[in-house]
Structure 1
C-alpha cells in the first residue's frame, strides 16, 4: 500500500481521477484503495488503524458517504456491531436490500489485484451453466487450467462432484469444491463427454493460472464479405492489449460486420468498455463540439453527497490503462461500424452492458442475440482497507441519450439458447448462427427458442451478483 490515491472505475469503470495525498473527486472519509468499477484509492495501514473497531468505523463511514443507496442502508452503528468488517459491509449493502443491490461485495485486496490487474485466477478453471434439461454443462474451460489439462471441454455434462450426484441444486460442499478451491485442493468429477457420450472420471487439483479474457478472434467468410468474431470474457487489464490487437487484425482484414460474444462476460473496467466502444464505432463516436472530440459513452451519476464525482466519460480512442501506466497515449484501431452483433445471456453484465447501451446512445445499431442481460447499470470503486477490497455500488451509468434504466436487463433482439454441442466461434453454434442469419436476412431465425438456460444455481448467481470477471473459476469470491 502507498499514499497515492487512484481512481479507476472497474466493472463500470474508467480512469476518472489520479491524485496523491487526498481522496480526490469529492472523496473524503477514510477511504483507502479504490479500483474496480470506477475508482481506486490506497493508503498505508498500521496496527492501530487496523483494529477491528477501526475497520468497522471505516466501513460505516464508507457506506454513509460513498454508497449509491446509502439512504436505504441499515443504521446499525459500528460500536454495536459484533461481527467482522466484511460482514458488516455486506449487512449494510447487498444483504440488507437484495432487491435493489445484488452486486456490492468484498474480497481481499490481493484477490482483487490478481483478478482485475493481472487476470490471474485460482481454482480448476471451469465455468458451468444449466441446459434446458437442467443438466450441469461445462460452458468454459480456461486454457492451461487444471480442468483443461484434465481433458474437460465445453458441453461436457457433469454428473457427480466428489462422489455426490449433481441434482438441480448444488450443495454448498459441491459449490466450494468445484468453484472455490484453494491451491492444492482436490476435486473429483464424473462427467459424460459431449463428443462421444463416454463416462469419464477425473480428479483435478486446484492451482493458480492466468485466465484468457479473449481466447478467440477469427474471421468468418460470408460470400465476398468478411465477418469478425471475438469471444470476449472479461474487461480485466490484460484484455486491453488483446482487444486492440484483435481489432487491428480485423480492421486490416476489412471486416464489414462484427460479432462480439459476451455471453459469459461479467464485466470489468469501464475504461476498457469505452475503448471497445470506440474500436467498434470509430468515427461515429466523434463530436466536434466536445472538448476532447468524442461523444459521451457513459455519464456517471453518484449519490447526492458525491455530485462532484459525476463524470462524463467519453468514447476513448487510446489505451487508458496503458497510458496510466506509461504516461503515453497509444492510439487504438477502429472498425467504424454502424452495426454490431453482441451475443448475450444473464451473465452479460455491467461493463458488457455499458458497451451495448453506450453504442446505442450514439445510434450505432446493436443487435443482441441470446438472452436478457444481467441488469447492472451501476458501477463501483474498489476501496481497500486493511487487506480487504470493498466494492459498493457507487454510481449509475447513463448513455448519451440519458438512458440507463435497465435494472431488469437488456432484452435480446433474437432469443436463442446457448448451444453446448458446438465450441464458441463455430458458425453452426446456435447463437452465432442466429447472428449470421440475421445479418443475411434481417430477421431472427425461425428456429429461435425460448432462452431456457439459466445460470448454474447459487454459484453462478454469486458470480453475477459480484460482477467479477467470469472465469468459472474458483476465484475465492464470497467465501
Structure 2
C-alpha cells in the first residue's frame, strides 16, 4: 500500500514525511564550474533545473550525463555556463523545454517574492490589450478594474474606459511593452472612444504613476444579491494570495450567515497564485472532508522515482482549517457558477478542475488559459535545495539576487484528469463586449446577468447580442513578477 503524503496547511502544499534512511534530504552532488569563471547565476540555474524541472529529461542541456563530475566535465560545464553572459537568455534559450510556456526568471528575488504576497510597484490600473482589427499591428487597451487605494483611483478613469496610445505614440504589438511596462514609472494614456465600431482617440489624456508597495486585496468585491427566491453570493476574486486567506474565510462566514443558496465566483481577471489558497477556497465552497482528494501532484521522472521508491503518493485533500488554524466556513454546496475569460489561469483552473469530481461546476464565459503545471520560487540557497524560504534569506548567495520560477509538476484532480493545456471550455460561452463591458457587481453586467438568468430562469436586461467581442491579446497582469503562475511555497521533500 502506498503511503499518502497529506497536506499541512501552514506548510502550503504537503507535509514533510520521513521515509528514507538518510538523515537529511539534499540534491545529489553534480559537477562544479571553475570558481573564478564568474558564472554563479548560471550554475545555480542549471543545478536547480537539473533536479527539479518537470521536463528535465526532455532537455539535452539538463541531462545528468552531459557534464560528468570529472576534471574534464568541469571544464566543459564551465564553458557551457559561460557561453551566455546574460543569465536571462541562458535560462530561456538553454534550459527550457520547447513546450514550456510559463517558467520564467527574475533578476530580483525580493521583487518576485513580494509579488506573491500581492505587493508590487503599480499604478493600480488593470487592463487588457487587444488588436484593433484582424491582422492589424495596432492595439487598444481596455480597463478591467482598478485596485483600490492606488494612483489610478485618484484619476478620472474607470472600468470600460479605452486607450490607444501612450505619451502620444500609438500602441502596437511592437512597442506596447516598452511604453506600458518599461522603466518609466509615469506615463500618459491617450484615451479613446468607440466610433462606428472602431476604437478611436478622443483627445483626453490621463497621467498615471506607478508607486512602490501597492498591496492588492484579491477580494475585489463580495456581495449578497437577493432576487426572487434566491440569495446569491457574488465574489470577484483577482488572485490567489495566501496573505488574505483569513479575509477570504470571513467572506464565506458572511455568505453562510446570510443564508445564500447559490454562489457566483468571478475569476475573469484571476491569473492564479497559491495552490494552498486554491485548496482553501475550494473547501469553502464544497466542504471540509479531509478524506476527499482535491489533487494529486506529478513530478519529473527523477523526483517521481524517489517518491515511488519510498512508496509515497502525493495527494492534497480538502481542508478544514486555514493556515492560522481558523475553522473553514464551508457552504457545502453541490453547484457553483464560475465566470472565466482567457485570463483565467493556473490556480483558478485548479479550483474548477478540482471541484468537478464533487459538484456541478457551471462555467460561464471564455475558455481558460490552459495552465495546469505548478511552480516554486528558487534562489541560490544550496542548503535548502534552492527553494526560497523567507527565514533563510541570510543563507542566499549574497552575490546572486536572481530567482527562477520553474514548473515542477502537474496537478490531477480526483478522477486523474489534468489534460487541459488548451484550456477549460465553458458550459455557457460568452465573450466580454467592448460596447457593453458593464460595472462589476451590477445586475445588468452581462456575465453576472447570465449567471443570474441560469439561477433564476428569468432573462436579465444585461444579456444581449455581443456587438464588439473582445479578443484579448494580453493583460497588465502578465507583466507583474508573478504573471500567471500557480505556485507552492514548499514542494514535498523526502527526508
TM-score for the superposition, normalised by structure 2: 0.76
2:56 to 52, 57, 70: 70
1:206 to 199, 203, 210: 210
Cα distance in 2 for partners of 1:50, 1:146 equals: 46
- SS for the counterpart of 2:406 is strand
Per the TM alignment, residue 65 of structure 1 is displaced from its structure 2 partner at its CA by 1.2
Contact 1:368 1:413 in 2 (8 A): yes
Per the TM alignment, residue 447 of structure 1 is displaced from its structure 2 partner at its CA by 4.7
* Number of the residue aligned with 2:366: 371
Per the TM alignment, residue 220 of structure 1 is displaced from its structure 2 partner at its CA by 1.1
* Number of the residue aligned with 2:66: none
* Number of the residue aligned with 2:428: 414
Contact 1:9 1:379 in 2 (8 A): no
1:257 to 262, 269, 276: 262
Cα distance in 2 for partners of 1:397, 1:451 equals: 36
CA 1:105–1:132 in structure 2 vs 1: closer, same or farther (change >3 Å)?
closer
CA 1:132–1:416 in structure 2 vs 1: closer, same or farther (change >3 Å)?
farther
* Number of the residue aligned with 2:385: none
Deviations 1:236-289 (CA, angstroms, capped at 9, x unpaired) = 12331221111111110011000110011011111000000100001xx52xxx
Per the TM alignment, residue 110 of structure 1 is displaced from its structure 2 partner at its CA by 0.6
- SS for the counterpart of 2:239 is coil
Contact 2:477 2:484 in 1 (8 A): no
CA 1:333–1:237 in structure 2 vs 1: closer, same or farther (change >3 Å)?
same
CA 1:465–1:270 in structure 2 vs 1: closer, same or farther (change >3 Å)?
closer
* Number of the residue aligned with 1:381: 376
Per the TM alignment, residue 85 of structure 1 is displaced from its structure 2 partner at its CA by 2.8
2:417 to 385, 403, 411: 403
Q: Is 1:122 paired with 2:127? A: no
1:467 to 480, 484, 489: 484
* Number of the residue aligned with 1:176: 178
Contact 1:298 1:398 in 2 (8 A): yes
Contact 1:155 1:193 in 2 (8 A): no
- Find the structure with the greater CA-based Rg: 2
Per the TM alignment, residue 368 of structure 1 is displaced from its structure 2 partner at its CA by 0.6
Deviations 1:352-386 (CA, angstroms, capped at 9, x unpaired) = 00000000022x11111110001011101111123
Q: Is 1:297 paired with 2:273? A: no
Per the TM alignment, residue 123 of structure 1 is displaced from its structure 2 partner at its CA by 2.5
Cα distance in 1 for partners of 2:317, 2:24 equals: 17
Cα distance in 1 for partners of 2:438, 2:13 equals: 38
Cα distance in 1 for partners of 2:23, 2:347 equals: 23
* Number of the residue aligned with 1:39: none
* Number of the residue aligned with 2:227: 222
* Number of the residue aligned with 1:188: 188
Q: CA RMSD in A?
A: 3.5
Paired residue total: 417
Per the TM alignment, residue 391 of structure 1 is displaced from its structure 2 partner at its CA by 0.9
Contact 1:17 1:25 in 2 (8 A): no
Q: Is 1:359 paired with 2:359? A: no
Contact 1:60 1:78 in 2 (8 A): no
Q: Is 1:87 paired with 2:73? A: no
* Number of the residue aligned with 1:153: 158
CA 1:181–1:85 in structure 2 vs 1: closer, same or farther (change >3 Å)?
closer
- SS for the counterpart of 2:219 is coil
- SS for the counterpart of 2:337 is strand
TM-score for the superposition, normalised by structure 1: 0.78
Contact 2:363 2:426 in 1 (8 A): yes
* Number of the residue aligned with 2:14: 16
Deviations 1:427-469 (CA, angstroms, capped at 9, x unpaired) = 1111111111112239999856599423344866667994159
Per the TM alignment, residue 69 of structure 1 is displaced from its structure 2 partner at its CA by 0.7
Once the two structures are overlaid, the 10-residue window that deviates more, 77-86 or 135-144, is 77-86
- SS for the counterpart of 2:111 is helix
Cα distance in 2 for partners of 1:459, 1:24 equals: 46
Q: Is 1:319 paired with 2:347? A: no
* Number of the residue aligned with 1:334: 330
Q: Which runs of 5+ in 1 are unaligned?
A: 1-6, 32-47, 287-292, 323-328, 470-479
CA 1:249–1:179 in structure 2 vs 1: closer, same or farther (change >3 Å)?
farther
Q: Which runs of 5+ in 2 are unaligned?
A: 1-6, 63-76, 134-139, 195-200, 308-312, 381-399, 487-495
CA 1:356–1:26 in structure 2 vs 1: closer, same or farther (change >3 Å)?
farther
CA 1:437–1:458 in structure 2 vs 1: closer, same or farther (change >3 Å)?
closer
- SS for the counterpart of 2:302 is coil
